[in-house]
Structure 1
Amino acid sequence: MSDSSASTAPASAPAGLSAAESEKLQAALKDIAERSQKLLKDFVDRYAAEGPQPADPLRLTQTFMDFTAKMLADPNKLVQAQIELWQQYMQLWQITAQRMMGQPVQPMAEPAKGDRRFNDPAWKDAVVFDYIKQSYLLTARWLQGTVKEVEGIDEKTAQKVDFYTRQFIDAMSPSNFALTNPQVVTATINSKGENLIKGLQNLLTDLERGKGRLAIRQTDMKAFRVGGNVATSPGKVVFQNKLMQLIQYAPRTEEVYAMPLLIVPPWINKFYILDLKPENSFIKWATEHGYTVFVISWVNPDEELSKLGFEDYMKLGPLAALEAIEKATGERQVSAIGYCIGGTLMAATLAYMAARGDNRIAACTFFTAQVDFTEPGELGVFIDEDQLAGVEEIMGKKGYLDGTEMATTFNMLRANDLIWSFVVNNYLMGKDPFPFDLLFWNTDATRMPAAVHSYYLRNMYQNNLLAKPGGLIIDNVPIDLRKVSIPIYLQAGKEDHIAPAKSVYKATQLYSGPVRFMLAGSGHIAGVVNPPHAKKYQHWLNETAKNPPTLEEWRAGATEYPGSWWNDWDKWLSEKSGAKVPARIPGAGGLPAIEDAPGSYVKVRLID
């Protein structure tokens, strides 16, 4: 008697698949073939239009050639390092053989705390996968250790080689390959390969989104809408120019402080990180505490704005906002917040205003903002003449740096979390990314006009001119941060990998007025966006009259407090914000409303 399941499947059906499964597979393969053909045609057309792309866009060839020459200069040391690695391999093989015979053994290499690549129990319980994992970890640590021990190279080159070596090591993790990841192997068996088919479709979707360049989805992009379920605080756009819209938010108290609050976010990100959702919105919280909040929403620039420079961002950004706020409220003085590169801009603006006797900003807060770039952290590895020239060459073709390239740079700082975890989830496991508002914001990239981006990289990161008296000349005004004498509240994140706390702290030694430095738990985002009701993390304060020269000395005398720092900031700023006045309604003052918050500028997206 014939098997009944075989009679229901067509002759062309792969073994083990039902008719329905076979039909689904054929439809998926047809979809993949059609989409792949179109992507290939688009690639050929773009190649013909743009010409061949540089083989080494980061211009790393010479760096690694110089490094290799230094490493080979001491062949005995290299041979010894290789012998040590082989000895570790032999020891690993021996303990693996002992384990296979049932003997208890201690692992030679364990993942670092917080390394989630090897969380699946099979990485420890299955002998083969445990061997693969430990072999990788031993090799990775040997390679990084060997690189760090090479003598005769300068510190900058050593950091660069170490960083890009780590990128290679992370990319080669066995968790990133289907045959060496136990989760993927199990999923492939259980789904009869459907996860890999779905993963290939996800890969094609991301290539289509990026118009031929891979744009990895970190979240469900359809789950969020700016102005719909993120950036929802009510308000009005009351002023705009070609570079920014100024949003005035609706009050949530009957009375507000007389002095308005201006927030200047970075132009390399969208401002709504401060207004993701009501429960963690800094903007909403500030309005609930009696502040009239104005926020700059930068335009997402194109080639028409390619020549806008740092001076344009100052004049068309915070300085234009100050004039608009005075018209809207009748108040000449405001307090301000500068976030990240928005804080760098605000520092230069304060020095510019101080030199001109302009006192319209009475107090200023800085969120994780650098002004002295002598120790900028890992972002510094991207700043040398070769790489800057490469970036400027790319920008010269379009007039701007595409936001996706900037996003890739930041993602590389945490590649395992922000790149490879999604490669595994989306393409190997064949799963759709989980809806997460923070990652939606993270992928909402903005372009950088060529002129301002080149100015920022060269004058701040490369030459550190902002920290030098008169190092920058803006509108014929020498910029000297030491002339800034207004009260400053300076926030840094303990684990910030973009603006390291050690670098942010250096500003305490530059301003001449009183500086209240506060160190927050967590990093560049969660160290800032941490509402009190969440009761997460901690913060440190040091109540000494004068900040010591280094962060290490400051921390030695600091006191740790549980939870958010927002209430401390509110106490600091409320004392400087004047008496209470009747709440101001956006659009009802000297400036009529143009459109509802969050405005139209912030809704311009590069990739849907």
Structure 2
Amino acid sequence: MSDYDHKNFRHTPNKGLFATKILDRAIKANMASLTGGITPAGVSTVIYEWLAHLAMSPGKQLELAQEMVYKSEYLLRHARQFNQGLESAPCIEADSHDSRFKGKAWSRWPYNLFYQSFLLQQEWWENASTNVDGLSKSTENVVSFIGRQMLDRWSPSNFPWLNPEVIDATLEQGGMNFVRGWENFCEDRERRMTGCPPVGSEDFKVGENLATTPGKVIYSNHLIELIQYTPTTEKVYAEPVLIVPAWIMKYYILDLTPEKSLVRYLLDQGHTVFMVSWRNVTSDDRELGMGSYRRLGPKAALDVVATILPDRKIHAVGYCLGGTLLTIQAATMARDNDHRLASLTLLAAQTDFTEAGELSLFITESEVDYLESMMQERGYLDGFQMAGAFQLLRTNDLIYSRVVREYMLGKRQKMNALMAWNADVTRMPYLMHSQYLRRLYLNNDLATGRYIVGDRPIAISDIDAPIFSVATSSDHVAPWRSVYKIHLLTDADEVTFLLTSGGHNAGIVSEPGHPRRTYQVETRQERASYIDPDTWQRSMPKQQGSWWPVWQTWLVERSSKEQIAPPAMGGEEYSPLTDAPGTYVLQK
């Protein structure tokens, strides 16, 4: 029952409402532990919508039935020709990025029929889940994604008795591949249960062979430590570089190893470099929101750097979510007539989330509510849950291929520095993650001028500093076409967009000399006409090599010509607290 408010002509909730909310949250939180954080309500709604529209489309049903018959005929014709010893090209080829069936063993009978049948089914499902009358594009994308995940689970490559490479290895090794695979499985299971990092991670230690660039922590607050790195040149450019990484993972992706360190590269070119290192939060930090991350993160770091180097502008750099937050800070500064930025560089960072890739397919009101219930008890989102969400985007590469390699073939993939960093997971506080999903993914407040800082909205169009935006061609976290939308949001006189080969991490860690790296780049001048991303990609020449020198030259061109002596560590205001890499990065 509820009470009726005669004055305001409305019902007021009864006193037991809070208890009922707690009950709902508890049930959803327990369900989330069984469903991997994916809400069954949201998924079932999407599937029902697709089935309902398909049921009302007899023409589409007939088209799918005909296609099934045709594909069956193709497969039978190929099998007959193969049995007769005739040359016969496969009736369907795998996509260029699909390496499951590349081995020569898959060309033998009957394994060639197994994988071609699977690919034909995959193609049929793609047609079944798209171009259904009345079905929205977003629903089509979700249904198609769900279908791909289900089909990937049942790929013939995942079953030892259907995979010729596993069969050959078993015959050659007398089954010892499965013995090693079982040992690998047991070891991995034990490590997961005890919270230990993956096999091989023990060979990589932060401060010893990871994040080794010398420097000092010259400032800290509850959320960040600010590192000032030791200069490597006698003279430096007057304008310092401040890097704000994402707090989803540890900062040292940008200071991985001496030869794969963006920080060391900038130092060697004569730049003064500062780096934000984020705290790994606990349940006590559950009420830290986006506002806290902005104030204690990029705002605090900019204030410290400006105090150490007064009257100098700053080159601000943001990576991934750190770039999004830095954009919020830059727009806030522009609104408040704060012109301390010499430039703004965004590395694989989104500012418009309307087409944020497959990760956004399940970011619905239902899913966010489900995640909030899951996070509320602990007060944070566990790093392993976030890693699992990213793995779901590439199940072939990150899950099933590993199962085949390590548990069926018994081969351990050698750990490298990037893999060790990827296993060094972090947590995200409840309130921040909830606001991030709602304000950016669900409402797209930042791109539409509705994001509130203080008591007023901010607009990216207010940013007048030159912008350098880097996207990676194979990015599943921040798709490059989504990153490209910065062209539509800013009125800055100059926007440089660079598209490099590689994925979200490997494309950014692209040191000079890295093999097979390419990039495309163009600077849009003031009042230039907009070019859509696909036309831009076709028209821009592809260049060989790393993008780092291109960006570094861009920074130099927007810096003072005369170089100066390097500043003292912490200047006059801040005394060094400890050696780099600091203490926050070591938190587990």
User: What is the TM-score when the length of structure 2 is the normalising length?
Assistant: 0.88
Q: Which residue of 2 aligns with 1:269?
A: 249
Separation in 1, partners of 2:339, 2:553: 22
1:66-465 correspondence to structure 2 within 5 Å: 66-75=49-58, 77-78=60-61, 80-124=63-107, 126-211=108-193, 217=198, 220-330=200-310, 333-465=313-445
2:578 to 590, 595, 601: 595
Q: 1:504: which partner in 2?
A: 483
AA at the equivalent of 1:463: N
Counterpart contact for 1:250–1:584, Cα < 8 Å = no
- Whole-angstrom distance in 2 between the partners of 1:556 and 1:189: 48
- Cα distance between partner residues in 2 of 1:259 and 1:342: 20
- CA, structure 1 residues 53+257, in 2 after alignment: closer, same or farther (shift >3 Å)? closer
Deviations 1:301-325 (A, max 9, x none): 1111111111101110011112322
> What one-letter code is carried by the residue in structure 2 that aligns with 1:359?
H
The one-letter amino acid paired with 2:192 is G
Instruction: Report if the CA contact (8 A) 2:495-2:524 is conserved.
Output: no
5 Å-filtered alignment, 1:473-512, equals 473-512=452-491
Letter in 2 for 1:601: Y
Alpha-carbon distance, 1:55 to partner: 5.6
Closer/same/farther in 2, CA of residues 544 and 344 from structure 1, 3 Å limit: closer
Structure 2 counterpart of 1:420, which letter? Y
Tell me the distance in 2 between the aligned counterparts of 1:419 and 1:431: 15
Alpha-carbon deviations, 1:395-437, whole Å to 9, x = none? 1121111111111222222221112111111221222221222
CA contact (8 A) 2:380 2:427 kept: yes
Residue 100 of structure 2 aligns to a residue whose secondary structure is: helix
The 8 Å contact of residues 520 and 541 in structure 2, kept in 1 or not, is answered as yes
Change (3 A) 1:155 1:199: same
Name the stretch that deviates more: 501-510 or 364-373.
501-510
Q: Which residue of 1 aligns with 2:16?
A: none
- CA distance in 2 between counterparts of 1:363 and 1:436 reads 33
Question: Using the alignment, how far apart are the partners of 2:470 and 2:155 within structure 1?
Answer: 36
Asked if structure 1 preserves the Cα contact closer than 8 Å seen for 2:496 and 2:523, the reply is no
Separation of aligned partners in 2, 1:342 and 1:360 = 18
Aligned equivalents of 1:53, 1:375: Cα separation in 2: 26
Q: Does residue 548 in structure 1 map to residue 519 in structure 2?
A: no
Distance (whole Å) between structure 1 residues aligned to residue 511 and residue 467 of structure 2: 21
Structure 1 Cα separation of the partners of residues 239 and 459 of structure 2: 26
Match of 1:561? 543
Instruction: State how far apart, in whole Å, the 2-side matches of 1:174 and 1:434 are.
Output: 25
Alignment partners' CA distance in 2, 1:198 and 1:170: 25
**What is the rounded CA distance, in whole Å, between the counterparts of 2:437 and 2:164 in structure 1?**
43
* Worse-superposed segment, 150-159 or 96-105: 96-105
Equivalent position SS for 2:345: strand
Structure 1 residues 349, 187: closer, same or farther in 2, change over 3 A?
Answer: same
Distance 1:512 1:80 in 2: 48
Aligned partner of 1:41 in structure 2 is none
Deviation string for 1:251-273 (max 9, x for gaps)? 11011112211000111122111
Can you list the C-alpha shifts for 1:236-258, whole angstroms capped at 9, x where unaligned? 11111111111111111011112
Residue in structure 2 matched with residue 34 of structure 1 by the alignment: none
Gaps of 5+ in 2: 1-28
Note the C-alpha offset of 1:544: 5.1
Deviation at 1:552, TM superposition (A): 3.9
How many Å separate the matches in 2 of 1:558 and 1:105? 39
Q: Please report how far the alpha carbon of residue 96 of structure 1 lies from its aligned counterpart in structure 2 after TM superposition.
A: 1.7
Is the Cα contact below 8 Å between 1:508 and 1:515 reproduced in 2? no
2:171, 2:416 → 1: CA distance? 29
SS in 2 for 1:127: coil
**Following the alignment from structure 1 to structure 2, what is the Cα–Cα distance between the partners of residues 557 and 186?**
47
Instruction: Work out the CA distance in 2 between the residues paired with 1:83 and 1:567.
Output: 55
Q: State the AA in 2 paired with 1:230.
A: L
What runs of 5+ residues in structure 1 fail to find an aligned partner?
1-49
Matched residues in 1 for 2:241 and 2:387: separation?
29
What is the percent sequence identity of the aligned residues? 37
Moved over 6 A (4+): none
Per-residue displacement from partner, 1:168-199 (whole Å, max 9, x unpaired)? Answer: 12221111111111121222233333322332
